Amino acid sequence: MNAATLSPQNPSSQPLFTWSALASLLSTHVPEGLAPCMGFSIDTRTLQPNDLFIAIKGPHFDGHDFLDDAFAKGACAALVASSWPHHHPQGLVVHNPLTALEHIAHAARQRATDTTFIGITGSVGKTSTKEGLAWVLKDRGVFASRKSFNNHIGVPLTLANLPPHTPQAVFELGMSHAGEIRALGTLVKPHVGLITAIGPSHLEHFSSLQGIALAKAELLETLIPPGIAVLNRDDDFFPLLENICHQQGVGTLITFGEHAQADVRLHEWHAQKNGTSFSCLYFGHPHHGQIPHTGKHWVMGALSILAVTHALGLDPNEVLAHLMTWPCYQGRGQTHTITFHGKTITVIDDTYNANPLSMKAALEALALRPKPSGRRVIVLADMKELGDTAPLAHKNLSPLIQACSVDVVMTVGPLMVYLHRALPPTLETHHVSDWIQAWPLLTSLLTHGDMILLKGSRSMELDKVVDRLLSAAAGPT
pLDDT, residue 302, reads 98
pLDDT, residue 200, reads 82
Domain ranges of the chain: 19-103, 112-324, 334-474
pLDDT, residue 59, reads 87
Task: Measure CA of the first residue to CA of the last residue in the chain; give whole Å.
Answer: 16
Determine the CATH number of domain 334-474: 3.90.190.20
pLDDT, residue 201, reads 75
Q: The dihedral of CA 212, 299, 255, 182: what is its sign?
A: positive
Give the span between the Cα atoms of 144 and 172, in whole angstroms: 8
Q: Residue 453: CB partners within 8 Å, gap ≥ 6?
A: 348, 350, 362, 363, 366, 376, 377, 378, 379
H/E stretch holding 111 reads: helix 97-111
- What would be the CATH architecture of the domain defined by 19-103? 3-Layer(aba) Sandwich (3.40)
Start-end of H helices in 312-410: 316-323, 356-368, 390-395, 397-402
pLDDT at 7 over 60: no
427-438 burial code (b ≥16 CB/10 A, e <16): eebbbbebbeeb
- What fold, for 112-324? UDP-N-acetylmuramoyl-L-alanine:D-glutamate ligase (3.40.1190)
Give the span between the Cα atoms of 79 and 449, in whole angstroms: 52
pLDDT, residue 10, reads 60
pLDDT, residue 273, reads 84
Summarised one tens digit per residue, pLDDT across range 319-365 is 999 999 999 888 888 999 999 999 999 999 999 989 999 999 999 99
Of the CA atoms within 13 Å of residue 160, those in its CB half-sphere come to 27
Radius of gyration of the chain (CA): 23
DSSP E strands in 11-141: the ranges are: 39-41, 51-54, 77-81, 91-94, 116-121
Nearest to 150 by CA among 196, 186, 194, 181: 181
Whole-model pTM: value is: 0.89
pLDDT at 1 over 70: no
DSSP E strands in 228-291: the ranges are: 228-232, 252-257, 264-272, 275-282, 285-291
Summarised one tens digit per residue, pLDDT across range 193-229 is 999 999 887 777 788 999 999 999 999 999 999 999 9
* Between residues 353 and 173, the one the model is more confident about: 173
Backbone angles phi, psi at 444, to 5 degrees: -75, -20
Q: How are beta strands 334-340 and 343-350 bridged, if at all?
A: antiparallel
Q: The dihedral of CA 354, 253, 157, 187: what is its sign?
A: negative
Start-end of H helices in 275-354: 296-311, 316-323
Strand partners, 412: 381, 432
* Between residues 161 and 273, the one the model is more confident about: 161
pLDDT, residue 145, reads 81
